[in-house]
Amino acid sequence: MAIEVPFRKLRYYWPVYLLIAVPLLLVLVFNYHPIINGIWHMFYRWDGDTVEEFVGFRNIVKMWNDSSLWWSFGVVSIFVVANVVKMILPIVVAVVLHHVISDKMGYFYRILFVIPMIIPGMVGILIWKYFYEPNSGILNNLLRILGFISPTDTIQWLSDPMLVIPSLVFMGFPWVGAFGVLIYLAGLQGISEDVYEAAGIDGAGPLTIFFKIELPLIMTQVRINLILMIIGTIQGWENIYLFLGVDGGPGGIATVPGLMIFREAFSRGLFGYGCAVGFVIFAVTLVLTLFNNRVVRVRK
Amino acid sequence: MKQKMDDVQHAGKFQKVGIVLAIAFYILSVIMVIRNYGGMSVMFDPDTKVITIAHWQLEDGFREGINAAIAEYEKAKAAEGVKVKVRQVAVPVRGYPQWYLTQLIGGEPADVLEITGSSDILNQYFTPLSPYIGEPNPWNKGTPLQDMSWRESFADDMLSALDTAYSEFFAVCTFMHTTRVYVNLDLFEEATGKKQLPETLSEWLEDCKKMREYGIKTERPIIPIGVRGFDKGTLGQLFNNYNSQLNTDLSDTGSPYGFGVMPGELFRQINSGELDKKRLLEPVEIVTEIGQYFADGFPAIDLEQTKYLFFSGNVGFFIDGTWNAFSMINNAPFRVGVIQIPMLDQGHPLGAKAFGRITELGSGISGRFGIPKKTKHFDLALDFLRFLTSWKVNQLVMVDHCKWMSSLKEVQYEGIMKTFEPVNNTSHTAISSPFSATGSLSTRLTLQRLENSIINRPADPMQYFWDDYLSVRPQLIDEVEEASRGILRNLWSMDGTRSALSVGVAISAPQSLNAKLYQMRSNINLEGIVSRFRAADGNVTLVEEMKKLEEYGKNGN
Amino acid sequence: MFKSLWIFAVTFAGVGLAAGADSGPSEKDEAPAALKAYAAMNYTQADKLAKQIPDTPEGQLVSGLCDLYDRSHQNIARGQQTLSKLFYNDKTPLDCRAEAGVALGRTIQLMKERRGLYGAAADRYDHIKIFDTVRQLAPDSRYDRDAFFYLMRERLEDPRRSDAAFKELEDYFRNFKGDRNLLPPLHLLAEYEYIRLRRDYKSAARHLMEGYEIGFANPNENRSGLFRLAFLYYKKLNDKPMAVKYFNEYLTRYPYSGLAVVAKRFQQELEEDGAKK
């Protein structure tokens, strides 16, 4: 537990402060300095190198008038909502695993869920890209075998403007990531057996137990995952880049703010504008996180 | 307690296994390092000099070609009594710029390095080669290039290697590429029933139509034309090719300063009514027409996927550069033919206006290799670079092994390589389109627009293209204005170059070679400044005229 | 010799840090080293060496120039101040003084072209006067050529002074007594401005020819200049004999270039035209 130390006695605790000073310095240099640098450069025309010209609010005005940026926020909102829905299945799986009677089978199922984690993310994305490949991809071949489309027809999952975003949302099906499952499982395993006994005595059914006992008691984990998911989704762009390239698909339809930053900064050399967009992402993420903290309350 | 003892013993056994494995892998890595360095004899022989050549060309054939050149070089030097070992290092292109910069900064770069990056990096880390390019390449003795200077032995007189920011040559070019169409001959003959490959656009489209029908009949997913859709490379090649075929004559009047076109001047002519905008939009119609035979979902298909589809036997024509020639020809389980991009013919509705094939001479030369300043064996590195760009060896490496084009003059091509030879039996040169030549954003948006035109099939592709172009005009004008600011910044830097070269003349002995070199570079710099003036003034005209462009149906006065 | 240490270096290899530039000797007479580093455009090293000799004109010149042109450590105000002190000091050696003048004049000129960025920061200097002074100090030299080059661009663009400027341009070429190898860039500028401002292809062709005959330093300029010359005679001036002469020369000198096919085509057109007559 933290104790308050009067200033005059600080000198007796100097080893602690010395030990903290080093990681603090590293955090300041490698985390805070880039952020401050980015905020500074949003007021500049900056090519990432030696060209640095102060332009005031020009980048912010440009953002306001940039319809593709607004569109990208719309797209990322769709992904955030979809990812919220996708959070349900890991919770369900964790609850089911928690209720497996046999310890050995429970251990076995946990291993089965964890093994896919060792596959590098990039490999997973490339596999999904092949899955969606219109001519020889798994999905279209399956639909051909099942007779939903003729042998020479193709569905352009990543080229048809109407299908691109649903295809990206569907990616990762069945959306049962080991990370989420293990986190929730750990939370569920922290619930005392007495609580279950009491619920059983009161005649509570499985659904009642889930909604009234288990879900509220793992709300801390849910909230953390929700925050991380929102931040990750708003900032994420690598999947889109790998799937659809720097343009974000046909007509840029699946461009997200992160991809916009990459494109403006690294393809066009407009690092100042990229910093401005980055700042907006930071502000939006902060607002959503605060909102999340207010709405998703944890009952202690 | 006993359980604990067992656990401890168990753990001890695993630890021993772990230590043994660690030592074994360490020894293995040492062996591999020594082997890759050149063997024990090289490592422990003080007289053997080791130089390294590094690049990112992982295409089939290139490394084999370089290895063949290395073997010849080591043999030739051994005959001169010089012990030398040349190592080849190939790094994937995605990581190459970072690796290369790290090597340069770290102080242990390869001795001959394929260059990339900004002019500032080249100036800081690479040895200027201008003192050496005026002399003949000694390795060209007894060849058709023996009387030419090293610079003149290149097909473009080393122009592609000139760094205009510093008016200096930091590298030499080692190869050249052209764009061709690879044909699955077996599928072609089955689907069309003929052996004669298409030479004209009408024939090509007819053959594509037959392929598609064949696919439907045999229930095979036949793709008439395979393309690199992911990075839109093919779209750009097709658009530029047909734009040149249709509009090459605009070079006579497209610039007030001489031969060639300037985007601002073309737009001025459109605004004044001297030029019908439809002329510049006709290539859109052609590309849209060809695009109907691309693979479904082509925008999401990258090069590797397209190659896979081609090798699976379901793609009739595959448009790509000669850098993939080796793998396309050698790895396909069927016969592969090569043709040029078919020519617009009189039979096509737009063919009457076409001028035929465009020359490829002097373009597509790349593969720049330079020598870092920190190399320990500069003389040997320079000698090896000369060897690599000598007539005989360049032919061996590029033509024989890689099936690539050489960057040199007087190189002979035989067999299938003749189809890769730059087109020169023509009277016209390529021109750029004003829609895509005003900056990287304009290029990207043009290709996106073409892609959308193919996917959406508008009733009038030309109008669709024009309307879309006007809708993004403010962004394009922004880009041109940004480019103008860039030119002004560049003029500042170029004056820095002027100043440095002037100081160089001042500190050199009068009439010395150094003084002459500095003077020459100073003149190159000022001549470059004139071309910046031209570009800056051109941008002013371009912005003025872009603002005046009117809607599709309206013509200029 | 057993390279044992090398094996361990490979095993524990990481990315090396920059070895650091050679540090120059600390003697007072560093001028050649600072100037040499500057001539190689190694601004960091040059500035470092120049700061070791702050009281010499060479050290001040290099410091001032690095302040202007080294983008990573740019300090324009300080650089211009240093150079103007050098320039307005009669005791400064001629080379230093002239170079300081040209650099000062040009950077002021560029700052005035970008008022949106630099505001009125350069208004305290009169770059025209500076260029004129440089020309008087070192007539017929490369400094004179450089100053005139920049002056002419501005004067020709000014509609009120354009006629006088074109006359001044011709007088310069006529009266120049220095190394004629300095003139090709000016001929190129003249060609460009004659076309841009007056569509005077005759004068443009004359200058292009004169520049070509001395020889452009950029091989690309030589090549494209020769083609352009032939083209101007053919399409703009309708001087077919001269066009034929220069197309022939182009095809002899540059048979492998991309424009060779066009030169051949034009040559054929001219021959057919000649045959018809």
Domain ranges in chain B are 41-178+363-420, 179-353
Q: Is A233 exposed, middle or buried (0-12, 13-18, 19+ CB in 10 A)?
A: buried
A212-226, B475-489, C21-35, C104-118: which range is least confident on average? C21-35
Domain range for C85? 32-138
Going from the first residue of chain B to its last (557 residues), give the mean pLDDT of each consecutive group of 10, the final group possibly shorter. Answer: 62 84 93 78 75 90 89 93 92 82 84 86 84 90 91 86 79 90 96 95 96 92 86 86 94 93 95 94 95 88 84 92 83 92 90 87 85 90 95 84 85 82 86 89 91 91 95 92 87 92 92 88 92 92 95 68
pLDDT of residue B555: 57
Q: Decide if pLDDT at C7 tops 50.
A: no
Which of the four pLDDT bands, split at 50, 70 and 90, describes residue C136? Answer: very high
Number of Cβ within 10 Å of residue C125's Cβ equals 18
Identify which of A51, A152, A159 has the shortest CB distance to residue B300: A159
Q: Confirm whether C125 is domain-assigned.
A: yes
* Residue B543 · residue B473 · CB < 8 Å: no
pLDDT of residue B162: 83
For the entire predicted model, the pTM comes to 0.82
Summary mean pLDDT of chain B: 88
Number of domains present in the structure of chain C? 1
* Residue B371 · residue B112 · CB < 8 Å: yes
pLDDT of residue B172: 93
C4 touches chain A (CB under 8 A): no
Q: Decide if pLDDT at C24 tops 50.
A: no
Superfamily of B179-353 according to CATH = Periplasmic binding protein-like II (3.40.190.10)
CA dist., res. A174 & res. A165, Å (int): 17
pLDDT of residue B231: 66
Identify which of A49, A50, A53 has the shortest CB distance to residue C117: A53
Nearest Cα of chain B lies from the Cα of C82 at a distance, in angstroms, of 15
User: Looking at beta carbons, which residues of chain C come within 8 Å of A53?
Assistant: 117
Q: What six digits make up the tokens of C133?
A: 């002074």
Quick one: CA dihedral B384, B385, B387, B393, positive or negative?
Answer: positive
Instruction: Tell which residue, B446, B109, B435, has the closest CA to residue B267.
Output: B435
* Residue B506 · residue C98 · CB < 8 Å: no
Q: Confirm whether C81 is domain-assigned.
A: yes
pLDDT of residue B165: 67
CATH (one of 1.20.1440.230, 1.10.3720.10, 1.10.1740.10, 1.10.10.60) for A67-295: 1.10.3720.10
Q: Confirm whether C107 is domain-assigned.
A: yes
Inter-chain residue contact A51 with C71, CB threshold 8 Å: yes
Q: Give the 3-state secondary structure of B236-272.
A: HHHHHHHHHHHHHHHHHCCCCCCCCCCHHHHHHHHHH
Identify which of A133, A247, A267 has the shortest CB distance to residue B305: A133
- The mean pLDDT of C88-109, rounded to a whole number, is 96
Percent of chain C topping pLDDT 90: 74
Nearest Cα of chain C lies from the Cα of A247 at a distance, in angstroms, of 32
User: Looking at beta carbons, which residues of chain B come within 8 Å of C59?
Assistant: none
User: Looking at beta carbons, which residues of chain B come within 8 Å of C256?
Assistant: 155-156, 361-362, 409
Q: Residues of A numbered 120-139 whose beta carbons fall under 8 angstroms of chain B's beta carbons: which are they?
A: 129-130, 132-136
Q: What six digits make up the tokens of B193?
A: 């029933």
C-alpha neighbours within 13 Å on the C-beta side of residue C18: 8
Please report, for residues A78, A284, B82, the alpha-carbon distance to residue A85 in angstroms, rounded to integers and kept in the order given: 11, 20, 71
Name the residue ranges covered by the structural domains of chain A. 67-295
CA dist., res. B372 & res. B23, Å (int): 37
Q: Which ranges of chain A have pLDDT less than 50?
A: none
Q: Residues of C numbered 65-124 whose beta carbons fall under 8 angstroms of chain A's beta carbons: which are they?
A: 71-72, 74, 117
Give the pLDDT confidence of C150-172 residue by residue, as tens digits.
999 999 988 898 999 999 999 99
Nearest-by-CA chain A residue for B448: A251
Q: H or E stretch including C247?
A: helix C240-253
Give the pLDDT confidence of B344-365 residue by residue, as tens digits.
998 898 888 889 888 887 777 8
Q: Confirm whether C85 is domain-assigned.
A: yes
pLDDT of residue A50: 67
CA dist., res. C190 & res. C214, Å (int): 15
**Whether CATH 3.40.190.10 fits B41-178+363-420:** yes
pLDDT of residue B1: 61
A36 touches chain C (CB under 8 A): no
Q: H or E stretch including B362?
A: none
Q: What six digits make up the tokens of B304?
A: 């590797």
